Amino acid sequence: GLNTIRGMISRYAPPTENNTEAYIAAICEWTGLKPDEVLDTRSRRDMIPVVTAMSRIENGCAANRHEVEEGFELTGFECQRSQ
């Protein structure tokens, strides 16, 4: 049921441990998505930019988008390749 940036980040980076609102704002700025926009978590179009942006925050440096794309291929969500 976690299908928005706000929902995902609030769950896994809660305010008791993080600056959750700043995290949400950064992800939205870098992806162009809205905090409460419903995402298709099986969609390359939605999730690759989100995961790439989250990696930037979590690791302190930009993720290699090609590696994120390769990782997405491991999910088996082949039906989303055309997007």
pTM of this prediction? 0.83
Percent of the chain with pLDDT over 70: 93
Residue 5 pLDDT exceeds 50: yes
* pLDDT value of residue 78: 59
Rounded Cα distance between 3 and 15, Å, is: 19
Give every CB contact of residue 65 below 8 A, 6+ residues apart in sequence. 48, 52
* pLDDT value of residue 18: 92
Over residues 29-55, mean pLDDT: 94
Residue with tokens 């049921």: 1
Residue 82 pLDDT exceeds 60: no
* Helix ranges (DSSP H) in 1-83: 5-12, 20-31, 44-59, 65-73
Contact 44, 83 (CB under 8 A): yes
